[in-house]
Chains A and B, each alone.
Chain A
Amino acid sequence: MAEHKEIDQPTGTEKVGHEWDGIEELDTPMPRWWLWTLYATIVWGVAYTIAYPAWPMIEKASDGLLGWSSRGDLHADLAAEEERRAPMTRAIAQIPIERLPEDSELLRFAVEGGRSAYKVNCVQCHGSGAAGFPGYPNLNDDDWLWGGDLQAIHQTLEHGIREPGNRESRYSEMPAFGELGILNRDEMNDVVSFVRVMSGQDSASNASRRGQAIYDIQCSSCHGADGTGNRDLGAPNLTDSIWLYGGDRESLYRTVDQSRYGIMPSWGNRLDPVTVKMLAAYVHSLGGGEELVEQDDSTEVDTNTDDAPDPVTQNERPAG
């Protein structure tokens, strides 16, 4: 085709050789500016790869003359974001945890911050939706072993549960009634029968009546005569519908026989005070959060929650 060129007579332009319905395509040259634009883009492309990281080398890609990197951008962005949040985080650091709800804007900020801290630190045990697993409490419900108000949750987060070596960590241990030889098989079965009656899962039987006598002696000191538990000891309420290790006969028997309890690390050692507060606010917001029961002398309530002694009023907090 390249050999014999056909020329379109009226315009003097070469033909490409294509024809559709009598319309022929001419090989009209590009305008000069467009050609130069093409060259310019090629030059630009090469210059760009020299200015920015691009060329693959043996170890890593070329650094680029401008020294730009996406990691550097990210660091700058993170620093700017931290700067932006500083007024809020400072306010949270200064306010005692139980007074957080007084400032709804601050509370919202804390809940959102807690949500992301939760996703990093807590999902491994309590699940991404905080619904827990057998042995790991569901944080969405309204049953709390050690209390569900902001202060109680904060204390649990700060010092953990049964953490060895932490004097302020919450601590309790149920005796392994079977393994320690306190109760025999039949007695344990009777106690289980009684607990199931107490929680409304079974109706009373001879076994449960026998179990009640054993319960009164062995269990009522912690779980209460009526079975509603004791939060000071982390003793579960046995009359409600929520079971940490399961409420069926088999699970209950194993709990009585071997005793079961979990360990939670103290997050006060690992996270900064603001994050721990935000986590408490988040957990409290999951639906089962309880209202703070005012104590006799409310000014003395706050003992181990924060590092800034002077509470800040809402007006002093910079808007942000």
Chain B
Amino acid sequence: MNDQPANLTDRETNQFFEARKKVFPRRIDGSFRRLKWVIMVVTLAIYYVTPWLRWDRGPYAPDQAVLVDLANRRFYMFSIEIWPHEFYYVAGLLIMAAIGLFVVTSAVGRAWCGYACPQTVWTDLFMHIERFVDGGRREQYKLDDAPWGPKKVAKRLTKWTLWLLVAIATGGAWVFYFADAPMLARELFSGTAPQTAYFSIFILTMTTFIFGGFMREQVCIYMCPWPRIQTALMDDQSLQVTYKHWRGEPRTRGIKRAKAMQAEEVDASSLLPPGDCIDCKACIAVCPTGIDIREGPQIGCITCALCIDACDEVMRRIDRPEKLIGYTTVEDEKLAMAGKVPEPPLKRLLRPRTLIYFAIWAGIGLAMLFVLGNRSRLDIDAGQIRNPLAITLSDGDIRNGYVIKLRNMEQRPRDFVVTVEGIEQAELWTDLQSRAEATRQIRFEVPADSVARRTLYLAAPAEGPERSDILFTVTALDDETATASAPTNFNRTGN
């Protein structure tokens, strides 16, 4: 099937599009296949189970361990709670995720694509379902070519139903990250869940169904931008799946043919000794993207290493050393061709490029941990009312107004006292009081996990500088060390 140049037939029949060539990879077993199984189980388990983990935060906060609470604008992750004004933590996590991919890619190539990418994981799962329903590679091709009949319809319907179930479970799990999972689950089944929940499930179900079931490698090759970026992150010392053509070429045809060629006693000087590749095409048959790795590195290869498993099996059978196809670097490949010993893997991993990426990644992580560990769960903002700026009172004093925001990020209601520094004889009162009740400090109770917004008035004698720097300070009554402050001004002129 791969004898034809890739695009020729379509080119001749139709100028405008290329029909997708269906890929039905053969089942294979081997060390990399088993690694893929483990990663699939672990990642899927994390995805499906996480929303159901509980985490006790007291009576004023949800008890879901990981929760993106859009309505109340909170992000909970185990013991960490993120407020909207702390969104830089989330930004930091996203940056770390990106740089983490840089680290991995520069060290071990497209490992993300081959093992952990959701597109890969779900496609893999869908392929297993397909094999379970339709049978092995040969049967799949036969069934695909067969005309529609009762048997084909039955098999297709079974397969699609199974796919759809997986897809619904996938889309369904996603919404649980955004609401209390047990409650939402009950609402979903009783039909009372919010519209957005059903809509999100529908969209994610359809994308999973179509991407995992039908588009598969087309997503990787045509839609995903990541392979193009990865190319720039890799160099001659990054690991990639490579066919060692110096060992494999020239190919022979089957085991017998190889033996026969040796027996023919041809002129050894005119012919290269036969290579290890017996051109059995096992590596092509198992490839989920349907490419021939022997053509060299290419964008279609997601480095899933299934071809390594396949070829190793063949090599074991014909009694040749394994790893005719293997993980190696371009540099090692050059050394091996020259008959030298490849560098130790550790030396390949620890090189300036990977170390710099790692240092940046770890630096951001440590900085975030440090800030997170030292962050205060109390915050004050003081915004001066500028229209009007300064008001003359009947006794000649000057009054300024401020809008104070107190953020109590603890999971309990707290009493706070707000004071002002930087101005003598300051009198403070709120917009719900009169000046007769003015004091030097104002007490507020702020409910658990919320922001209190209050207007404060500050009066002081007219004599003094036109503009003084002042500082509003908030202190918790139950813990004097819990304090925060916000600088602003007191203006004696201006309107």
Contacts and interface: CB of A to CB of B under 8 A. Distances in A.
Contacts of B215: 33
Given A11-B6, A28-B7, A33-B218, A288 B435 contact: yes
B18 interface: yes
A128 B389 CA distance: 12
Contacts, number: 109
Given A101-B432, A104-B432, A129-B388, A29 B17 contact: yes
B391 A140 contact: yes
A131 interface: yes
B20 interface: yes
A15 to B, nearest CB: 12
A14 B15 CA distance: 11
3 tightest Cβ-Cβ pairs between the two chains A and B:
A129-B387, A240-B394, A131-B388
29 contacts: A10-B5, A11-B5, A12-B7, A29-B15, A29-B16, A30-B17, A32-B17, A32-B19, A32-B20, A33-B20, A33-B215, A33-B218, A34-B17, A111-B431, A129-B387, A130-B388, A131-B391, A138-B388, A138-B391, A141-B394, A142-B394, A143-B394, A240-B394, A241-B392, A285-B432, A287-B391, A288-B434, A289-B431, A290-B436
A140 B17 contact: no
Interface string B3-18: 0011110110011111
Interface of A: 10-14, 28-35, 101, 104, 107, 111, 127-131, 138, 140-143, 237, 240-242, 285-291
Interface string B348-360: 0000000000000
B434 A289 contact: yes
Given A31-B17, A140-B388, A286-B431, A12 B5 contact: yes
A31 B20 contact: yes
Interface string B169-183: 000000000000000
Contact of A241 (B7, B16, B393, B401): B393
Contacts of A288: 393, 434-435
A30 B391 contact: no
A4 B294 CA distance: 32
Contacts of A29: 7, 10-11, 14-18
Interface residues of B, number: 38
Nearest to B6: A11
Given A31-B222, A33-B20, A11 B7 contact: yes
B457 interface: yes
Contacts of A241: 392-396
Contacts of A33: 20, 215, 218
Contacts of A31: 17-20, 218, 222
Nearest to B396: A241
Given A138-B388, A287-B435, 18 more contacts: A12-B7, A12-B8, A13-B6, A13-B7, A29-B11, A30-B18, A31-B19, A31-B222, A32-B17, A33-B215, A34-B222, A127-B388, A129-B387, A129-B388, A131-B495, A240-B396, A242-B393, A288-B434
A91 to B, nearest CB: 17
B399 interface: yes
Nearest to A289: B434
A101 B10 CA distance: 80
Between B386, B394, B435, the greatest number of chain A beta carbons within 10 A of the residue's beta carbon is seen for B394
A32 B11 CA distance: 12
Contacts of A111: 431
Contacts of A140: 388, 391, 399, 401
B391 A12 contact: no
A12 B11 contact: yes
B455 A242 contact: no
Contacts of A32: 17-20
A130 B387 CA distance: 8
Between B6, B7, B19, the greatest number of chain A beta carbons within 10 A of the residue's beta carbon is seen for B7
Contacts of B387: 127-129, 131
Interface in B1-56: 5-8, 10-11, 14-20
Contacts of A127: 387-388
A47 B173 CA distance: 33
Contacts of B395: 240-241
A242 B394 contact: yes
Contacts of B20: 31-33
A127 B386 CA distance: 13
Contacts of A11: 5-7
Nearest to A131: B388
A14 B387 CA distance: 69
Contacts of B8: 12
A32 B10 CA distance: 10
Interface in B369-426: 385-388, 391-396, 399, 401
A117 to B, nearest CB: 16
A120 B455 CA distance: 22
Given A29-B10, A143-B394, A287-B399, A35 B16 contact: yes
A129 B396 CA distance: 20
A58 B14 CA distance: 44
Contacts of B19: 31-32
B490 to A, nearest CB: 14
A147 B259 CA distance: 114
Contact of A291 (B391, B392, B393, B434): B434
Between A111, A143, A288, the greatest number of chain B beta carbons within 10 A of the residue's beta carbon is seen for A288
A141 B10 CA distance: 83
A237 B394 contact: yes
B434 A290 contact: yes
A154 to B, nearest CB: 16
Nearest to B400: A287
A141 B431 contact: no
Nearest to B458: A287
A285 B17 contact: no
A33 B392 CA distance: 73
Contacts of B401: 140, 287
A141 B17 contact: no
Contacts of B437: 291
A276 to B, nearest CB: 19
Contacts of B429: 287
Contacts of B394: 141-143, 237, 240-242
A259 B267 CA distance: 129
A285 B215 CA distance: 63
Between B6, B14, B431, B457, the greatest number of chain A beta carbons within 10 A of the residue's beta carbon is seen for B431
A127 B431 CA distance: 19
A241 B391 CA distance: 11
A12 B19 CA distance: 16
Contacts of A143: 393-394
A257 to B, nearest CB: 25
Contacts of A240: 394-396
Contact of B392 (A34, A101, A128, A141): A141
A82 to B, nearest CB: 22
B7 A35 contact: no
A104 B454 CA distance: 12
A242 B393 CA distance: 7
Contact of A242 (B18, B385, B392, B457): B392
